[in-house]
Amino acid sequence: MGTVITVSSLTKHYGDRVAVDDMSFDVAAGRVTGFVGPNGAGKSTTMRMMVGLTRPDRGGVRYRGIDYTRLLRPARVVGAVLDARCMHPGRTARMHLRATAALSAIPVRRVDEVLAEVGLGNAADQRAGSFSLGMRQRLALAGALLGEPEVLLLDEPSNGLDPDGIRWLRNSLTAFARAGGTVFVSSHLIGELEMFADDLVVVGGGRLLAAEPVASTLARGHSTVVVRTPQAAELAELLDRRDLEIDAVDVIDQRLSIRGTTTATVSQIAFDHRIHVIEISETSRSLEEILLDMTGATAEYASA
């Protein structure tokens, strides 16, 4: 299916501050790509440039080779939700969507279809001003789905959603990608993202830090194997000969920890050399911890 979005050399300055610095990455079709980074990393600016709302100083974004601002029917290619509050509080959900549909020559029947799809069928004639943030998120997503787009571009879509809403969103986006659609979604809920994203684009300080499958990011967080054995020193020597990274050896406590390996490897070595193992366990670092490490140095607003 190839690449559907090509971001090349995207750069944006606000005065002296570089919001987005020479960012380039591709987004593959039919996959969910998470867009992550700390606050002020340039995620929202990048996403706004991806739909032509913010003019880049340099570089551009192409959808199947065409610049967003030159797309014939943008709503049929990209459905974007960059701010769930983007609706007039005095207009009903149905009329909000009808106005959006009319602008892109989308048949009016789609309005009721997408309202049902996002679970707002019963609230169609309520004014958006009476909606909770979660309902607004759903209405904004309905607007993005109106044109049956190939790509969904979502900035923090789970903001304001309750746990049931978050699960609904995850299932919807996964189903959208499984049906061949492409999802590019920014989120601070890394644990949530880990459950359904295939790929990650990691940014920090306006720069691209990584663009890779989630599995590759997870592989960056070396797991640690902890072994309890009365022959800790002997096992440490054996592992060292195999260039495994010994984190700590505690002969008195009969404990040994090794980084970047697996229990299978360590137990096999111990078995081959008749080393008595009392206990063996493996701890992995979460995606959140790995990403914090990756972006830590670039975080503009870090906690004390």
- Binding positions for another protein, 230-289, rule CB under 8 A: none
Among 216, 262, 281, 284, binds another protein (CB under 8 A): 216
Q: Is 299 in the site for another protein (CB under 8 A)?
A: no
Stretch that binds another protein, among 102-110, 227-235, 242-250, 271-279 (CB under 8 A): 102-110
Distance from chain centroid for Cα 274? 45
Q: Which two tokens stand for residue 230?
A: 């009365």
Q: Is 209 in the site for another protein (CB under 8 A)?
A: yes
Question: Which secondary-structure segment (H or E) carries 270?
Answer: helix 263-272
- Binding positions for another protein, 37-66, rule CB under 8 A: 48, 51-55, 63-66
Q: Give the full edge-to-edge strand order of the sheet including 66-67.
A: 17-28, 3-14, 58-63, 66-67
For residue 121, what are the CA distances in angstroms to 88, 160, 162, 287? 19, 19, 19, 37
Q: Note whether 188 and 9 are within 8 A (CB).
A: no
For residue 131, what are the CA distances in angstroms to 5, 84, 93, 134, 269? 33, 11, 9, 8, 61
Place of tokens 């993202």: 193
Q: Is 199 in the site for another protein (CB under 8 A)?
A: yes
Stretch that binds another protein, among 35-43, 203-211, 231-239, 266-274 (CB under 8 A): 203-211
- Binding positions for another protein, 105-134, rule CB under 8 A: 105
The smaller minimum CB distance to another protein, of residues 230 and 296, is found at 296
- Binding positions for another protein, 131-190, rule CB under 8 A: 143, 150, 177-181
- Please state the closest distance from residue 46 (CB atom) to another protein, in A: 13
Stretch that binds another protein, among 101-109, 185-193, 235-243, 256-264 (CB under 8 A): 101-109
